[in-house]
Amino acid sequence: MPRSKKISLETERVVSLSAHVAISSKVTACAKIDSILAKGGESFSEEKLPPQRFYNASGSIVDQGLNNNYEIDKKQLTFEDLGLRTQERDLELGINLPAGARALKNTLERLFFEKSSKSGLGNYKPTVALLFGVEHTAPRYLTSHQELAREHTGKTKPSGSDILEVRRNLKVLSEKTHMFTMRGAKDKSGNRPVLVDHARIIINLVEGYEEVTEAEDATLTRNSPTIATLKKGKILLTGNPIFALDIDRKYVPKPTDINERIRDASGSNKPSEAISRFSDYLHRQLTDPVTKATGRHEIGEDKLIYALGLDKYQKEGRKKKVREGIEGAIKTCSHARLPLLLEVSKSWDKSGKPKYIFTLNRHFPNPPAMPLDRDGTPVY
């Protein structure tokens, strides 16, 4: 006999998104790098770039997606500074996701923004959750696996494999833990303490199904439902408050079709983590007032390796893998489909260490002017 497993949409006032509480997932002199740029696709210029549709991602979630262990590995921060317990010291800082889950995170950023009159809070009554020990508004989005796959792929009729892939990546977002860190306000000594949020997930996933058979219920229990079963369900996604934190004044504009552009520019349906991270890195840099004014940005090669998530290969001595990762990321973000970079140079800093000098396309994704503070300074 079919039976109903109804979704419970109302939760407690303060939702915990900590992995320590088991609610994370329920059923219920410059050397030009011309050789790299030459492979970047058709040429373009700032002036010829047409306006792009865009959404605003919270600057905080973009920053956490770029956070890394550089300061710890370089002894600029200690585990004690971060208040980490011994068992937590293997965690990497920031949001570290495989490329597929990172792409779905982009889609959720967009949906939380677009479905909420651009407030970043989704299409369902928002709730409250803790972030850095303080209550913040958490966005929520009510949808189905099929509709989410439609939004994610851009297909009117997503295939069964599309739907299953979206569900797999939702599970990653709802189960993988991350360590958030950010600088707090200045104390009386003028120092900005490091705030730490331990072992966080970024999506709380609740699934609900109507009129499922006992056999279908068994597949849900085994986490191997059929497409037909998934089509009977609704899902309620509660985003970590990091998705909407200060989005009204600190945001990073991205094209609404950012995932498609990354795939086209990279020539792969599964672009690397380094490519995805570099795209976020350059979008973030385009909100920096200095970059906005000059169009230039410099970064040491060692820091770039960490920003792209390539430090794991560096530690293994895989220099070719690191080089290919950097070159692939630069090539992709110089492509006409993702024209973030106009020029790339490589030089050396005063200590003789290599650095990259990027000339960025300040008109991509060509959103309206960034908001200004009262004194006329851009918020970033």
Poorest-confidence range of 54-68, 292-306, 354-368?
354-368
pLDDT band at 174 (very low <50, low <70, confident <90, very high): very high
Q: Which of the given ranges, 46-60, 199-213, 268-282, has the highest pLDDT on average?
A: 268-282
| pLDDT tens per residue across span 262-275 | 999 999 988 999 99
Q: Average the pLDDT over 110-133 and give the result.
A: 86
Separation of alpha carbons 155 and 161, rounded Å: 12
* CA terminus-to-terminus distance, the chain: 58
pLDDT at 367: 55
Separation of alpha carbons 41 and 308, rounded Å: 22
Separation of alpha carbons 218 and 135, rounded Å: 37
- Return the SS3 of 211: strand
Separation of alpha carbons 291 and 3, rounded Å: 58
Characterize the bridge pairing of strands 54-58 and 251-255.
antiparallel
pLDDT of residue 244 exceeding 70, the answer is: yes
Evaluate whether 224 touches 202 at the Cβ level (below 8 Å): no
What are the backbone angles phi and psi of residue 203, rounded to the nearest 5°? -140, 130
pLDDT band at 115 (very low <50, low <70, confident <90, very high): confident
- The dihedral through the CA atoms of 222, 226, 227, 229 has a sign that is negative
Separation of alpha carbons 263 and 107, rounded Å: 14
Give the count of beta carbons closer than 10 Å to the beta carbon of residue 59: 19
The strand pairing partners of 5, in sequence order, are 209
pLDDT at 366: 65
pLDDT of residue 290 exceeding 50, the answer is: yes
Q: Which of the given ranges, 41-55, 339-353, 358-372, has the highest pLDDT on average?
A: 339-353
pLDDT at 258: 95
Q: Average the pLDDT over 106-127 and give the result.
A: 87
Q: If you average pLDDT over every residue of the chain, what do you get?
A: 80
Evaluate whether 301 touches 33 at the Cβ level (below 8 Å): no
pLDDT of residue 151 exceeding 90, the answer is: yes
Separation of alpha carbons 177 and 252, rounded Å: 24
pLDDT band at 52 (very low <50, low <70, confident <90, very high): low
pLDDT at 304: 96
Characterize the bridge pairing of strands 3-5 and 178-183.
unpaired
Higher pLDDT, 43 or 136: 136
Evaluate whether 192 touches 183 at the Cβ level (below 8 Å): yes
Taking CA atoms, 376 is separated from 251, 292, 380, in Å, by 17, 14, 12
| pLDDT tens per residue across span 207-236 | 887 777 788 777 777 777 888 888 888 899
pLDDT at 365: 76
Q: Average the pLDDT over 46-52 and give the result.
A: 48
pLDDT at 251: 92
pLDDT of residue 1 exceeding 50, the answer is: no
